[in-house]
Structure 1
Amino acid sequence: MKFLALLALVSAAIATPATKQRRQGCDSDVTLSGNPFEGLTLHANSHYAELVTAAAANLTDSSLEAAALAVADVGTFLWLDTISTIDTFESYLQETTCDEIFGVVIYDLPGRDCAAKASNGELAVGEIDRYKSEYIDPIVAIIKNNPNIAIAAIIEPDSLPNLVTNIDQTACANSKSGYEDGVAYALEQLNLPNVMMYVDAGHGGWLGWNDNLAPGAQELAKVYKAAGSPAQVRGISTNVAGWNAWSLSPGEFENAPDGQYNKAQDEKRYVTLFGDALATAGFPNHAIVDTGRNAVQGLRLEWGDWCNVNGAGFGVRPTTDTGLELADAFVWVKPGGESDGTSDSSATRYDSFCGKEDAYKPAPEAGAWNQAYFEMLLENANPALA
């Protein structure tokens, strides 16, 4: 039970509007167990809020202004995707109040994004010592300095799933030991009372294939056990920066010729099926699901198309009302409006997926703001934004 967070909620409930005060963190240290989102609101970090507010001032359609400003108030995860971003982490973290939980993405493994080009990281394969000492250790130090703030951490999107399905690629084969060592180290060091961790598990169109469920679960369990089976690992994150529906029947690709080989045709079925495989493998099996851009279905030519899908919209706002006990919360992980990768085929980090027919063009480099794409997300939001 989140004793101090719940105490703050009770106090807030009986306070009058004149006496209720917002304050940084809680009065005492936070201890998280169970569903860490229960009773708390995902913090709307000011980094994303500032990007959205600036975008609202530059809309080509002024009728979207109210919707844009509403996005600035939606809780969203902060990505620590380079060593340099750690310098600002503590200031953003300390904006969190006692009725909130701060979401952070740990994302800087050596040889990151081994099966693609758009989001390759700064650390080369083999630089595991730098990952530990220059990336994980400073993050841990900051969190230890703020034990009165509740934190949900997503651990290394796409990393372990790549070891299951893309190990035949040289880059992924070379990255295997670093990925496993790095993730295990992150889990071990971030095993702190005020942190709840979710290891990324791709999505239903990735590890959800019938033949991938058991190997995927075994890979996650292997790393989890190598870390000493940390108590603060709650389960998995799914659909991070993805497009899959939470619940859709038939699923987007269910009637495709190979649909019979994947029973996880939406994220609800994936969380259930993969959850069973995780339990068998000895890994905690609760989940959080990214619904930040999955409002519209039927847009992709293939399930694996991941880059700036054209026609997408903001999805369900963060909530614990998922309708499935294994699903702790719907959350916004990928900051809507930030590009997945460039459509410029001459760019060094160009990935062919960003040039496909179903990808939005033009698009800037991964992480750069795409104003037109942001406005599209607003227009296609479901449920509609204010």
Structure 2
Amino acid sequence: MKAEIAAVLLAAGALAAPSDKAPRKAAAACSSAVTLDASTNVFSKYKLHANSFYRKEVEAAVAAISDSSLKASASKVADVGSFLWLDTIANIAKFDEAVADLPCENILGLVIYDLPGRDCAAKASNGELKYNEISKYKSSYIDPIVAKLKANPNSAFALIIEPDSLPNLVTNADLQTCKDSKSAYEEGVAYALKSLNLPNVVMYIDAGHGGWLGWDANLKPGAEQLAKVYKNAGSPKQVRGIATNIAGWNAWDLSPGEFSTASDAKYNACQNEKLYIQKFGAALKTAGHPNHAIVDTGRNAVTGLREEWGNWCNVDGAGFGVRPTSSTGEELADAFVWGKPGGESDGTSDTGATRYDSFCGKSDAYKPSPEAGEWNQAYFEMLLKNAKPAF
């Protein structure tokens, strides 16, 4: 990342960090119903909420640290806004506590992530529903979330819709698992978009990252795949655009790009997420899909760690990145967010585990690591030590 841009982002991130001294106001105390205008950047008005679930994870991690200096830095992570992953039917229950302490000026980030045959190209993040359980996805997963959102009309919500799903249909269509999941992905995402199209909600559909749909050959079909599902849902007005780099590692504006010297670099003009948003955003506009974006900067502080673009599991040497802020310097980028809660594992390094994925055993993956979603204390401390800007 260029030094002058880094300085701007550091300042923006510092300004955006929420204070633990601010009075916490219950959502019930908010006096009027929220109406979010998805034709505007809602992050310029609302601050991403530091949800109670991640706060408790971080507080437990802080208690396990003996070094006083590191302990003090770690405690500040609890005050950073991040998205809450509703990644199973059971985890919908996390919603209630998270919304209970949501101040009126904050927006609660939720990741909608439980499609049938979820993550058809990976083992570590396979979901609980089989590829043919679309009816259960609708009735037991999406519908209960809709009910909770409707029951909290005075609160604002930002949703990331189904990470990795539609991008997998573009680039992994030859895998049998993805062939099996294709119809459920398209129908499921469309149902989610249509059902979650509520006044107090703004939605961003996951679009992978620059090292995935950013390849020259993937831009047009990627945009058309997202637009197809968006239009099948009736072009819901609360869809603002896309989410990129979710749980990812790509730099925002590193130039030259991290893989610019690779032999195949000439086939990918999106060498950072800023370029990706610009180029994919243009393709989305042509395809008839909203094209503003939020970008995950939760773990992208350190570059040059991965052997190739596609290495996604617990990258060794990573660090916490820029704090959530709407000051991005790019018109199409609404906000930098923390999409993936730093410290929660991407997948297990145990080769004997049912959900072991070979990407979690690569030389650039941190070991040992527990199952996806489980806390990894050592990894959290590494992210903290390598944070830019530092805590």
User: TM-score with structure 2 length normalisation?
Assistant: 0.92
Counterpart pick for 1:28 among 17, 25, 32: 32
C-alpha displacement of 1:117: 0.2
Counterpart pick for 2:119 among 101, 107, 113: 113
Instruction: Look up the match of 1:49.
Output: 55
Instruction: Look up the match of 1:93.
Output: 99
- The question of whether the paired residues in 2 share the 8 Å contact of 1:24 and 1:98 is answered with no
Instruction: Look up the match of 1:78.
Output: 84
Q: Mean alpha-carbon deviation: is it higher for 81-90 or for 276-285? A: 81-90
Instruction: Look up the match of 1:4.
Output: none
- The question of whether the paired residues in 2 share the 8 Å contact of 1:25 and 1:94 is answered with no
Instruction: Look up the match of 1:350.
Output: 356
Q: Which consecutive unaligned segments of at least 5 residues does structure 2 have?
A: 1-20
Instruction: Look up the match of 2:290.
Output: 284
Answering whether residue 317 of structure 2 is matched by residue 311 of structure 1, we say yes
- Equivalent position SS for 1:105: strand
Identity of matched residues, %? 70
Which structure is higher in RCO with an 8 Å CA cutoff and minimum separation 6?
Answer: 2
Q: For residues 305-358 of structure 1, give each alpha carbon's deviation from its aligned partner in whole angstroms, at most 9, with x where no partner exists.
A: 000000000000000000000000000010100000000111110000000000
- The question of whether the paired residues in 1 share the 8 Å contact of 2:120 and 2:177 is answered with yes
User: Which runs of 4 or more aligned residues in structure 1 lie more than 4 Å from their structure 2 counterparts after TM superposition?
Assistant: 17-25
- The question of whether the paired residues in 2 share the 8 Å contact of 1:160 and 1:180 is answered with yes
Q: 1:136 to 1:270 in 2, by over 3 A?
A: same
- The question of whether the paired residues in 1 share the 8 Å contact of 2:24 and 2:102 is answered with no
C-alpha displacement of 1:59: 1.5
Instruction: Look up the match of 2:7.
Output: none
Q: Mean alpha-carbon deviation: is it higher for 92-101 or for 221-230? A: 92-101
**For the residues of structure 2 that align with 1:272 and 1:299, how far apart are their CA atoms?**
25
Answering whether residue 260 of structure 2 is matched by residue 244 of structure 1, we say no
Q: 1:132 to 1:62 in 2, by over 3 A?
A: same
- The question of whether the paired residues in 1 share the 8 Å contact of 2:241 and 2:291 is answered with yes
Equivalences for 1:304-343 in 2 at 5 Å? 304-343=310-349
Equivalences for 1:96-245 in 2 at 5 Å? 96-245=102-251
- Equivalent position SS for 1:292: coil
- Equivalent position SS for 2:123: coil
Answering whether residue 367 of structure 2 is matched by residue 366 of structure 1, we say no
C-alpha displacement of 1:67: 1.3
**For the residues of structure 2 that align with 1:60 and 1:176, how far apart are their CA atoms?**
48
Q: 1:108 to 1:290 in 2, by over 3 A?
A: same
- Equivalent position SS for 1:37: helix
- The question of whether the paired residues in 1 share the 8 Å contact of 2:25 and 2:102 is answered with no
**For the residues of structure 2 that align with 1:238 and 1:106, how far apart are their CA atoms?**
14
Amino acid in structure 2 at the alignment position of 1:372: A
**For the residues of structure 2 that align with 1:176 and 1:281, how far apart are their CA atoms?**
20
Answering whether residue 382 of structure 2 is matched by residue 376 of structure 1, we say yes
**For the residues of structure 1 that align with 2:27 and 2:307, how far apart are their CA atoms?**
47
**For the residues of structure 1 that align with 2:305 and 2:24, how far apart are their CA atoms?**
45
Amino acid in structure 1 at the alignment position of 2:162: E
**For the residues of structure 1 that align with 2:294 and 2:153, how far apart are their CA atoms?**
23
**For the residues of structure 1 that align with 2:198 and 2:63, how far apart are their CA atoms?**
40
- Equivalent position SS for 2:240: strand
User: TM-score with structure 1 length normalisation?
Assistant: 0.94
Q: Which consecutive unaligned segments of at least 5 residues does structure 1 have?
A: 1-16
Q: CA RMSD in A?
A: 1.5
- The question of whether the paired residues in 2 share the 8 Å contact of 1:24 and 1:97 is answered with no
C-alpha displacement of 1:62: 3.2
C-alpha displacement of 1:97: 1.0
Instruction: Look up the match of 1:11.
Output: none
- The question of whether the paired residues in 2 share the 8 Å contact of 1:25 and 1:149 is answered with no
Instruction: Look up the match of 1:260.
Output: 266
